[in-house]
Amino acid sequence: MEFSAKQISEYLKGNIIGNPDVKVSGFSAIENGEEGTLSFLSNPKYSHFIYDTNASIVLVNKDFEPEKEVKPTLIQVDSAYEALAMLLGWVEQMKPKKNGISPQAFISPTAKIGINVYIAPFVYVGEGAEIGNYVSIDANSYIGENAKVGENTELHAGVKVEKECVIGKNCILHAGAVVGSDGFGFAPTPDGSYRKIPQVGNVIIEDNVEIGANTTIDRATLGSTIIRQGVKLDNLVQIAHNVEVKKNTVIASQSGVAGSSTIGENCVLAGQVGIAGHIEIADRCVFGAQTGVPNSVKEPKSVMQGYPAVPVNIFRRASVVYKNLPELQRIVYELQKAYDAEKEK
Amino acid sequence: MEFSAKQISEYLKGNIIGNPDVKVSGFSAIENGEEGTLSFLSNPKYSHFIYDTNASIVLVNKDFEPEKEVKPTLIQVDSAYEALAMLLGWVEQMKPKKNGISPQAFISPTAKIGINVYIAPFVYVGEGAEIGNYVSIDANSYIGENAKVGENTELHAGVKVEKECVIGKNCILHAGAVVGSDGFGFAPTPDGSYRKIPQVGNVIIEDNVEIGANTTIDRATLGSTIIRQGVKLDNLVQIAHNVEVKKNTVIASQSGVAGSSTIGENCVLAGQVGIAGHIEIADRCVFGAQTGVPNSVKEPKSVMQGYPAVPVNIFRRASVVYKNLPELQRIVYELQKAYDAEKEK
Amino acid sequence: MEFSAKQISEYLKGNIIGNPDVKVSGFSAIENGEEGTLSFLSNPKYSHFIYDTNASIVLVNKDFEPEKEVKPTLIQVDSAYEALAMLLGWVEQMKPKKNGISPQAFISPTAKIGINVYIAPFVYVGEGAEIGNYVSIDANSYIGENAKVGENTELHAGVKVEKECVIGKNCILHAGAVVGSDGFGFAPTPDGSYRKIPQVGNVIIEDNVEIGANTTIDRATLGSTIIRQGVKLDNLVQIAHNVEVKKNTVIASQSGVAGSSTIGENCVLAGQVGIAGHIEIADRCVFGAQTGVPNSVKEPKSVMQGYPAVPVNIFRRASVVYKNLPELQRIVYELQKAYDAEKEK
């Protein structure tokens, strides 16, 4: 299927610079754009690619002004990235969805299965589980006893939803994600070994949540570990038992939140961040990569980085001094020596 | 099934404060406790919840004194957390266990299968593998050739035990855990590429070990990677080839131990800790979150944190100064300038 | 099968010290070497084991000189580690390979399957997928629509290769690895929620790549995430969308590379390293464990460590001063007080 720059611009309410009749039938990255495809330019760092790309159409932010002539037709929009999201979403929606229940799946007779679902081969659906309408579950996934998967949710291959856990509507769980593994709870005993605390709670994932590949979310000891609506978790993230992540918070890869902590709404955790247990993070906080957060952060919109976390401007300035520490120490000892010599006189 | 405060207190050898006849039929977290349930209070941080909870019974430590009247019946015990573990374990034990071998599992004819096992659909059991009595293996799990799983051990969905590896008795392996992947061993060659060192050893996991979801334990190059009895590994932990983790050591999520290192008994690694390769950690050491340990720690009971690791009290004090580094540098340069000016006179 | 020291030495072009007729039939680690086995000594740290080992033959580097008498026959070679790799590879090659397609696998009728493949039970091969000759796919693995797996590549249990992704020849993917999960791309919307950017690119993995257990590699938004030939990724590594890792680079466990970054050839990332997004790392750079790299590294052969990354010699010296910061601060304040007092006079 082909679309012209004019058609696309109208759909996006954009502004055309160049030939409105040029047509595209696919997408490409700007650095190796091919003729007949549409690309986008959002990060100014990549602006130079626009002068060489062979893409036929490029979406650009409305404030983008080419410094010299460009080959492709440009479509100016409020946000090139969001416009791309719209276009891609539109194209994705037109793709036919898989449908039907494989005879090679295992479905407990007591499970309730909605209409228009896709259940692939080697999927296990346990006793009393409920699978909503339009749900898609790819091969080798596991839905434990009495677990629920909400309407229109999509599970990639090898996802495990353990017993009693609840997944909302319109969620996406990527391959290998685990929801509802036991929380890490042990009571020390006098002989130095540990007694397991059975974890009898569950995990509740609200609507519109995305969970990355091989990410793990532990069930609560008692009650629920809760991931609120709109939360996005990247790959290899760890969410411990009894944590609550409030709505629209984004957590990048390899970050971890220890037990019983609460993360506010609309927070951003960059990669490899660690949040200690039993603390609270206010709304709209941002933590730079590899930050370690040992204590509660009460001030909303805090922007912090470091190990342990400090306000990001302090982190940046302290990092610069860090490199200089050996020199600084040398000067201090020299001054001390001079001062001591002075005193002796 | 219902139990009265009196019955529970007798079982736990506790001391009742309040109505001994109140009955419960389930558990709840104290912060949203419901009538007819039992909750617990262990961390003093959560004490304030006891004055509002609707839980009918709350287990408390024997030194807990309510500051004002409380609604629930309290049961004082030596350790509320351990008492909860006992109660939960008791209830869990009464639940019927799954049993039988699914016709949709693949069991090699040369595998030896014990009595009273549960083997779910889509489980693969390879040639010569041995599955002990009372073992439970959930869907989509994999037991490689000649691997052994000891009595009463429980494998959640999608666990992979690679060939020749040995799992002890009473272990729990959570969903997606991998035991026996190849160690990361390569020899550089003159052309800049690497030649794989085949990893022909195995992994030995002793009794009463718990392994978290999506955790990975590599097989030894030669010999065995060893996880001693009572060790508890959280989710997304990495144990490299030829490592030995000695008994009753606890490793929290996203920590990693590099090749050929030995971790002593009863150590505690908090989250995201890294232990370098070819080093030895003494018994009963504790490492704070995100600590990086580059060298052997010979002193038992060392408590360290930081990157690189230093004694925890030094880490705490140095962290405070860190924030102040820009100011400190400013002062040093000012003093130096003053001193130089003085000298010139 | 037994081999004499003489036979092995000839194969390795080595030099025998001791009895050339002693025979071995297996391998063992030097620290618990058994009679009738061959061991190796590469790391000088383990030299003391050679005087106690019961191994019958030990491979040693040609510069190794025993300080006193040793029991085993020694074979001196250029590199004991590489010689071991050769021997192990030779033995591994002689082992019979599994063969055949399980009737319990699901193979789409439109998939193309090469000759001499092994496809285990519960493997899913989607529409239009291509499986090369001599490929081995272990149980519970998943090959998505139109994905390609090159000749002689080996997938362990539970590997997921998502649709359209391409795996080269002679690769090894360890258990639970995920190739082609969605990149983590979301556009913020005015109400604080996020709109998903569909990820319509793929992942391309070239030849001779090894990918660790539970490692995740995201597909590109547009275009391809690329892992070049000879790259070795350890367990639990995260490679984000649109990243390129150039040939023969080695990335140890739990490291992560954020979106759109490029890592040069023959780089080494130790464990738990984080590379920021949209940056470039020159060839032959080395990053110590837990390093955080926020900016591009333009100088080839840079050796860096720290958070944030600095040249490793600076990191080492600054780390030493770090421990001393409280004392340093005390001296500075004392000098300042003395100076102020002096000035007032």
Q: Which amino acid, one-letter code, is at B111? A: A
Are C253 and B254 within 8 A, CB to CB?
no
* Structure tokens, C80: 């004991």
Side-chain-side CA neighbours of B127 within 13 Å: the count stands at 2
Residue in B253, B289, B329 closest to A321 by CB? B329
For the residues of B151-194, what is the DSSP string, one character each? TT-EE-TT-EE-TT-EE-SS-EE-TT-EEEEPP--EEE-TTS-E
pLDDT of residue A343: 81
Are B193 and C230 within 8 A, CB to CB?
yes
pLDDT digits (tens, 9 = 90+) for C101-142: 999 999 999 999 999 999 999 999 999 999 999 999 999 999
pLDDT of residue A91: 84
Per the CB < 8 A criterion, the answer to whether A314 and B326 are in contact is yes
Task: Please say if the pLDDT value at position C78 is more than 90.
Answer: yes
Per the CB < 8 A criterion, the answer to whether C128 and C149 are in contact is no
Per the CB < 8 A criterion, the answer to whether A223 and A201 are in contact is yes
* Structure tokens, A93: 């929606």
Are C212 and B318 within 8 A, CB to CB?
no
Are B184 and C235 within 8 A, CB to CB?
yes
Beta-carbon contacts of residue A200 (< 8 Å; ≥ 6 apart): A221, A222, B27, B88, B91, B92
Closest residue, chain A, to C196 (C-alpha): A85
pLDDT of residue A121: 98
Per the CB < 8 A criterion, the answer to whether A264 and A287 are in contact is no
Beta-carbon contacts of residue A81 (< 8 Å; ≥ 6 apart): A40, A42, C187, C197
C46 phi, psi to nearest 5 deg: -100, 10
Closest residue, chain B, to A140 (C-alpha): B140
Residue in C142, C181, C306 closest to A174 by CB? C181
Residue in B162, B310, B335 closest to C335 by CB? B335
pLDDT digits (tens, 9 = 90+) for C287-308: 999 999 999 999 999 999 999 9
How far apart CA C67 and CA A160 sit, in angstroms, is: 56
- B-contacting chains (≥3 CB pairs under 8 Å): A, C
How far apart CA C169 and CA B181 sit, in angstroms, is: 20
Residue in B188, B223, B256 closest to C272 by CB? B256
Closest residue, chain A, to C279 (C-alpha): A45
Buried-state track B271-302, b at ≥16 Cβ within 10 A, e below 16: bbbbbbbebebbbbbbbbbbbbbbeebeeeeb
* Structure tokens, A73: 């037709």
Lookup result for tokens 């091919």: A34
pLDDT of residue B38: 95
pLDDT of residue B255: 98
Helix axes B80-94, B5-12, angle to 10 degrees: 110
Q: Distance, in angstroms, between C17 CA and closest chain B CA? A: 23
For the beta carbon of residue A114, count every other beta carbon within 10 angstroms: 15
Closest residue, chain B, to A216 (C-alpha): B213
Interface predicted TM-score (ipTM): 0.95
A–C CB contacts, 8 A cutoff, strictly below: 198
- Preferred mutation among C124, C224, C324 to probe A, highest tally of A CBs within 10 A: C124
Are A122 and C144 within 8 A, CB to CB?
no
Residue in C216, C222, C290 closest to A213 by CB? C216
Beta-carbon contacts of residue B161 (< 8 Å; ≥ 6 apart): B141, B142, B143, B144, B147, B149, B155, B167, B173, B179, B180
| Helix ranges restricted to H, chain A | 5-12, 80-94, 312-323, 325-344
Which 8-state DSSP code applies to residue A142? E
For the beta carbon of residue C229, count every other beta carbon within 10 angstroms: 17
* Residue C259 pLDDT grade (very low, low, confident, very high; cuts 50, 70, 90): very high
Residue in B45, B214, B271 closest to A258 by CB? B271
Q: Which of A48, A174, A241, A278 is catalytic?
A: A241
Q: Distance, in angstroms, between C118 CA and closest chain B CA? A: 14
How far apart CA A212 and CA A269 sit, in angstroms, is: 14
Per the CB < 8 A criterion, the answer to whether B125 and A128 are in contact is no
Give B158's contacts in chain C (Cβ within 8 Å).
140, 158, 176
Least confident interval from A212-221, B322-331, C89-98, C241-250: C89-98
Q: Which amino acid, one-letter code, is at B100? A: G
Q: Within chain A, which residues score under 70 in pLDDT? A: none
Q: Comparing C-alpha atoms, which of B8, B40, B11 is closest to residue B21? A: B8
Lookup result for tokens 């262990």: B42
Q: Which of B48, B174, B241, B278 is catalytic?
A: B241
Are A253 and C258 within 8 A, CB to CB?
yes
How far apart CA B206 and CA B169 sit, in angstroms, is: 7
Give B213's contacts in chain A (Cβ within 8 Å).
160, 178, 181, 216, 218
Q: Which of C48, C156, C174, C241 is catalytic?
A: C241
Q: Is B241 a catalytic residue?
A: yes
Beta-carbon contacts of residue C27 (< 8 Å; ≥ 6 apart): B200, B222, C37, C38, C39, C87, C88
Give B328's contacts in chain C (Cβ within 8 Å).
328-329, 332
pLDDT of residue A277: 98
Are A158 and C144 within 8 A, CB to CB?
no
B–C CB contacts, 8 A cutoff, strictly below: 199
Q: Comparing C-alpha atoms, which of A292, C274, A271 is closest to residue B288? A: A292
Are C158 and B162 within 8 A, CB to CB?
no
Q: Distance, in angstroms, between C185 CA and closest chain B CA? A: 23
Task: Please say if the pLDDT value at position C45 is more than 90.
Answer: no
Are A196 and B85 within 8 A, CB to CB?
yes
* Structure tokens, C298: 């333009």
pLDDT of residue B339: 86
The 3-state DSSP class for residue B14 equals coil
Lookup result for tokens 């800790």: B273
How far apart CA C56 and CA C62 sit, in angstroms, is: 18
- Preferred mutation among A78, A98, A253 to probe C, highest tally of C CBs within 10 A: A253
Q: Look at the alpha carbons of B294, C176, C202, A41 in this order and tell me if their dihedral is positive or negative.
A: negative
Side-chain-side CA neighbours of A269 within 13 Å: the count stands at 35
How far apart CA A112 and CA A110 sit, in angstroms, is: 7
Kindly state the helix (H) or strand (E) to which residue A37 belongs, with its residue range.
strand A37-41
Q: Which amino acid, one-letter code, is at A246? A: K
How far apart CA C210 and CA C232 sit, in angstroms, is: 5
Give A158's contacts in chain C (Cβ within 8 Å).
140, 142, 158, 160, 176, 178
Q: Within chain B, which residues score under 70 in pLDDT? A: none
Peptide linkage before B326 cis (omega within 30 of 0): no
> Which long-range contacts (C-beta less than 8 Å, at least 24 apart) are formed by C82-86?
C82/B187, C82/B188, C82/B189, C82/B195, C83/C12, C83/C14, C83/C40, C83/C59, C84/B187, C84/B197, C84/C40, C84/C42, C84/C59, C85/B185, C85/B186, C85/B187, C85/B195, C85/B196, C85/B197, C85/B198, C86/B195, C86/C11, C86/C12
For the residues of A46-113, what is the DSSP string, one character each? GGGGGGT---SEEEEETT---SS--SSEEEEES-HHHHHHHHHHHHHHHSPPP-EE-TTSEE-TT-EE
Q: Which amino acid, one-letter code, is at B225? A: T
Distance of CA A225 to the CA centre of its chain: 18
Angle at B301 between CA B297 and CA B305, to 5 degrees: 65
Are C187 and A79 within 8 A, CB to CB?
yes
DSSP bridge pairs for C154: C136, C172
Start-to-end Cα distance in chain C: 92
The chain-wide mean pLDDT, for chain C, equals 95
- C-contacting chains (≥3 CB pairs under 8 Å): A, B
How far apart CA B333 and CA B326 sit, in angstroms, is: 11
Per the CB < 8 A criterion, the answer to whether A181 and A218 are in contact is yes
pLDDT digits (tens, 9 = 90+) for C185-233: 999 999 999 999 999 999 999 999 999 999 999 999 999 999 999 999 9
- Preferred mutation among A123, A156, A163, A182 to probe B, highest tally of B CBs within 10 A: A182
Beta-carbon contacts of residue C42 (< 8 Å; ≥ 6 apart): C61, C79, C80, C81, C84
Per the CB < 8 A criterion, the answer to whether A305 and A319 are in contact is no
Give C45's contacts in chain B (Cβ within 8 Å).
278
Per the CB < 8 A criterion, the answer to whether B122 and A140 are in contact is yes
Residue in B43, B157, B247 closest to A160 by CB? B157
Per the CB < 8 A criterion, the answer to whether A183 and A196 are in contact is no
Q: Distance, in angstroms, between C90 CA and closest chain B CA? A: 9
